Structure 1
Amino acid sequence: MLVRLVYASRASRDLSPQDLQDIVRRSRQHNTQEGITGLLCYTEGIFIQVLEGSRESVNTRYKRIVADERHVQCTLMAYEEIAERRFSGWSMGQVNLHRLNPAMVLKYSETQKLDPFRMTGTALTQLFDELVAAGAIECS
């Protein structure tokens, strides 16, 4: 059975670009081994991530994320059983924030500022769908 999980969290400290690249690199390695796919967005100290895969793999990964000292205020935004993956092309795609159009954010949010804590999980998933369609996901 496949599931999709969307969460948001705040970084417990400032992350350098190298820190973020290390997170993405390790995620890609582990996710490939565990059959997990998804996307990661990091902006202004906030993580937003979509994970897809088996219920066991996704739940195990999320438990690790919640326990990771780099995260605080880890909030489950959406969790659902799915028939197919939306983000199967990425073991862990990364949102290119330079391609994040404020009008696209405003379509799903109260303001043009990306604040997942003021959005629904459905809205976040739809925003990620649009980011994929707009070519705003980096693979390497």
Structure 2
Amino acid sequence: MLVRLLYASRVVDTSPEAIESILAQSRQHNPGSGITGVLCYGGGVFLQAIEGGRSAVNALYGHIQRDPRHQQVELLHYEEIDERCFGGWTMGQVNLSKVNHSILLKYSEKPELDPYAVSGKVSFALLQELMATAAIMGRA
């Protein structure tokens, strides 16, 4: 059974090296677990969608909750799915500093990433729009 999980967290170390380390680890680990997804980062906040088998997704989310690189980990949405939205990505990446701020304003009060202030449904709609506008990089 496939599921999709959407969560937000605040990043402890916001250096480019720390963010790249998290992405590299995801891209190395996820293929073997059948996990796909996308990571959106901006202003010290992660918004991440992960898809895959229920056990693998649940185990990964448990790991993220215990990971000292993340704080204030909050589940935004969890659902059973018929097919993946991010099947082509082991972990795609969105660099919000290069995204048109009008896209962010479409989904929130301010032109910044704040998944804590909107619903999981709205956060997922934002990720889908970013995917449709080719703002997601790193299919690896």
Q: TM-score, normalized by length of structure 2?
A: 0.94
**3-state SS of the aligned residue for 1:103?**
helix
Aligned residue in 1 for 2:74: 75
Aligned residue in 2 for 1:10: 10
Q: Confirm whether residue 49 of structure 1 aligns to residue 75 of structure 2.
A: no
Q: Matched residue pairs, number?
A: 139
Q: Percent identity?
A: 51
Q: Displacement, 1:99?
A: 3.5
CA distance in 1, matches of 2:98, 2:132: 11
CA distance in 2, matches of 1:54, 1:5: 11
CA distance in 2, matches of 1:59, 1:108: 27
User: What is the letter of the counterpart of residue 101 of structure 2?
Assistant: P
Aligned residue in 2 for 1:129: 128
1:1-140 matches, cutoff 5 A:
1-12=1-12, 14-139=13-138
CA distance in 1, matches of 2:99, 2:75: 23
CA distance in 2, matches of 1:129, 1:25: 23
Q: Does structure 1 conserve the Cα–Cα contact (< 8 Å) formed by 2:92 and 2:136? A: yes
**3-state SS of the aligned residue for 2:134?**
coil
Q: TM-score, normalized by length of structure 1?
A: 0.94
Deviations 1:7-39 (A, max 9, x none): 001122x32111111111110111111000000
Deviations 1:51-86 (A, max 9, x none): 000000000000000000011110000000001000
**3-state SS of the aligned residue for 2:56?**
helix
CA distance in 2, matches of 1:113, 1:22: 23
CA distance in 2, matches of 1:30, 1:124: 25
Q: Displacement, 1:97?
A: 2.0
CA distance in 2, matches of 1:86, 1:39: 10
CA distance in 2, matches of 1:11, 1:20: 9
CA distance in 1, matches of 2:135, 2:97: 8
Q: Displacement, 1:44?
A: 1.3
**3-state SS of the aligned residue for 2:37?**
strand
CA RMSD of aligned residues (A): 1.1
Q: Displacement, 1:119?
A: 1.0
Q: Does structure 1 conserve the Cα–Cα contact (< 8 Å) formed by 2:43 and 2:112? A: no
